[in-house]
Amino acid sequence: MNLKISALEYVEQVKNGNISAEDFVSATIDRIKNVDDKLHAFLQVNSKAVEQAAQVDKKVKSGEKVGSCFGMPISIKDNICIKHSKTTCASKMLENFVAPYDATVISKLKEQDAVFIGKANLDEFAMGLTTEFSAYGPSRNPWNTDYVPGGSSGGSAVSVSAFECVASLGSDTGGSVRNPASFCSTVGYKPTYGLISRYGLISYANSIEQIGPITRTVKDTAFMLNILSGLDSHDNTTIDNENVDYLSGIEAGIEGKKIGIIQEMIGEGIDHTVLSATNDAVSKLEGLGAICEPISIDMVKYSVASYYTITATEAGSNLARYDNLRYGYDFPVEGFEFNSYISKARTKFGPEVIRRMILGGFVPSSGHAGKYFLKSLKVKSKLTREVTEAFKKYDFLVAPTVPILPFKIGEKIDDPVALFQVDINTVMSNLTGVPSISVPYAISNGLPIGIQLLAKQNDDKSLLQAAHALETTVNLPEVPI
């Protein structure tokens, strides 16, 4: 069984009866058994996956109406709720939390006959960019298992890259989909804020994060977006996209489009191989008929500070509910008074979460809010104005997804500020709500480099067209695992 096919190819093959969903899912489970000891993409594998795929085959055979996923095995980041299954956020705090409901994206995929192959590893509560902060151990980069796969949706990107599934759902608060996509050589998409319902995504920084697909091709992302996007009465922040078909016209090309190269994202600290890959990508875009020019977005230099202040504030509030009184892990309340119980119960949080809780308690507090939190909000709105201005002039913006190559596990874990700086190229689209995509572009010394494209709000369809155009210029080797 060839597992190395795209989502669209999978659908075609099952539809035509060339392969059965059951065989494919069963082979995928075997693949996970073979490689996941080394990679640790999964926190949990669905023991009923093969059975569920067989049900889809029955539908296909009987001529019954089949959902557009045809039993496709999809991995789900373990901060998205699937009814009756454990959702841990890779935290000991939620070790025993079984979600009593489906996230909206899960309901939508179920309707389309997707099979959830397993729950993917992440940095605890999605805080991190390496998966090293998972309470259940890090995932490893399939291109070189000594290296981090990126994060926080590291497990998702690894599972797609190493053929342990066909596609995955991650979540992106400051690059958490695009960063591991770049490090693992997959496509990673952060939609316009509100395009995909967040209902059932366990919040980290709710005002800027989105669920996003991780796939092998840009077309696969468009396919997933067709299923996932749209208004949801369960999420008041969703927007009406009028059921746009993201796949149709995806080959439109970028002839005559204007693209701005963000100077602040290719400056100081950038790895030279990443820089030359970016320059190469720019010349490819020009070769496709686009007009590329340098552009400066001044506020980028404050964006990481602003991002960590805002996310810490929201995280401090979003994670306050984990007092272990209503759900969580086994720890009886008898003999405790409320405050002493919760402070004891909350020691199950890992170090990165605790660091951000402390930060989140401080930066918005009275006497300090003006200097930190409110100032960060000002940076956010100023940055948004600058980006809006830029999109008056340019159709797309381009930059490397991450300014450096994947690094070794353990290399940066003790230097949180250095880790924070790695987010410099990705946080902008979260702070401003615009869509962005990471496209696999090059391999340097066996390590992947991704190129990021951004478009203005609600211009997701054109962004996918541009990304697809860039993707057609690329020919990458196969993952060595």
Any idea which residues carry the catalytic annotation? Answer: 77, 152, 176
Interface segment toward another protein; rule CB under 8 A; list 39-47, 233-241, 431-439, 444-452:
233-241
Nearest-CA neighbor of 440 among 409, 477, 465?
477
Please give the angle made by the CA atoms of 347, 40 and 156, to the nearest 5 degrees.
Answer: 90
**Beta partners for residue 397, in sequence order:** 260, 454
Residue with Cβ nearer another protein (191 or 403):
191
Interface segment toward another protein; rule CB under 8 A; list 68-76, 95-103, 159-167, 254-262:
95-103
Q: Does 329 bind another protein (CB under 8 A)?
A: no
User: In this chain, which of 75, 161, 173, 203 binds another protein, going by CB under 8 A?
Assistant: 203
Integer Cα distance of 10 and 23 in angstroms: 12
Per-residue tokens: 155? 């497990």
Integer Cα distance of 363 and 297 in angstroms: 25
Structure-derived torsion over alpha carbons of residues 172, 133, 452, 481, reported in degrees to the nearest 10: -120
> What's 23's DSSP letter?
H
Residue 360 beta carbon to another protein: minimum distance, rounded to whole angstroms: 8
Q: Does 198 bind another protein (CB under 8 A)?
A: yes
Residue 47 beta carbon to another protein: minimum distance, rounded to whole angstroms: 23
How many residues lie near another protein (CB under 8 A)? 45
Site for another protein in 331-370 (CB under 8 A): 338-339, 342, 361, 364-366, 369
Q: Does 200 bind another protein (CB under 8 A)?
A: yes
User: In this chain, which of 146, 320, 351, 385 binds another protein, going by CB under 8 A?
Assistant: 320
Nearest-CA neighbor of 474 among 445, 433, 435, 443?
443
Residue 346 beta carbon to another protein: minimum distance, rounded to whole angstroms: 10
Structure-derived torsion over alpha carbons of residues 305, 311, 314, 319, reported in degrees to the nearest 10: -130
| 266: alpha, beta or left? (left if phi > 0; alpha if psi -120 to 50) | alpha
Cα 264 to the center of its chain, rounded Å: 23
Q: Does 323 bind another protein (CB under 8 A)?
A: yes
Residue 267 beta carbon to another protein: minimum distance, rounded to whole angstroms: 31
Residue 338 beta carbon to another protein: minimum distance, rounded to whole angstroms: 5
Integer Cα distance of 42 and 332 in angstroms: 30
Residue with Cβ nearer another protein (280 or 323):
323
Q: Where are the alpha helices (DSSP H) in 262-299?
A: 272-287
User: Is the separation of the CB atoms in 129 and 176 below 8 Å?
Assistant: yes
Residue 49 beta carbon to another protein: minimum distance, rounded to whole angstroms: 22
Q: Does 97 bind another protein (CB under 8 A)?
A: yes
Residue with Cβ nearer another protein (102 or 386):
102
User: In this chain, which of 144, 206, 226, 273 binds another protein, going by CB under 8 A?
Assistant: 206
Q: Does 195 bind another protein (CB under 8 A)?
A: no
Element containing residue 359 per DSSP (H, E) = helix 351-362
User: In this chain, which of 5, 59, 327, 473 binds another protein, going by CB under 8 A?
Assistant: 327
Q: Does 94 bind another protein (CB under 8 A)?
A: yes
Q: Does 170 bind another protein (CB under 8 A)?
A: no
Computed on alpha carbons and rounded to an integer, the radius of gyration of the chain in Å comes to 21
Residue 87 beta carbon to another protein: minimum distance, rounded to whole angstroms: 7
Interface segment toward another protein; rule CB under 8 A; list 86-94, 151-159, 223-231, 289-297:
86-94
Residue with Cβ nearer another protein (211 or 399):
211
Residue with Cβ nearer another protein (327 or 329):
327
Interface segment toward another protein; rule CB under 8 A; list 15-23, 205-213, 289-297, 424-432:
205-213
Q: Does 234 bind another protein (CB under 8 A)?
A: yes
Residue 215 beta carbon to another protein: minimum distance, rounded to whole angstroms: 23
Binding mask 236-275 for another protein (x = CB under 8 A): xx--------------------------------------
Long-range contacts of 241-249 (CB under 8 A, 24+ apart): 241/195, 241/458, 241/460, 244/460, 244/461, 246/221, 246/222, 246/460, 246/461, 246/464, 247/219, 247/222, 247/223, 249/461, 249/465
User: In this chain, which of 24, 136, 147, 373 binds another protein, going by CB under 8 A?
Assistant: 373
User: Is the separation of the CB atoms in 197 and 234 below 8 Å?
Assistant: yes
240-274: b (≥16 Cβ within 10 Å) or e: ebeebebbeebeebbeebebbbbebbbeeebbebb
Element containing residue 421 per DSSP (H, E) = helix 416-421
How do strand 396-400 and strand 291-295 relate by DSSP bridges?
A: unpaired
Residue 194 beta carbon to another protein: minimum distance, rounded to whole angstroms: 9
Per-residue tokens: 434? 């615009």
Residue with Cβ nearer another protein (64 or 334):
334
Q: Does 87 bind another protein (CB under 8 A)?
A: yes
Residue ranges in contact with another protein by CB under 8 A: 79-81, 87, 89, 94, 97, 99-101, 103, 198-203, 206-208, 233-237, 313-314, 316-317, 320-323, 325-327, 338-339, 342, 361, 364-366, 369, 373
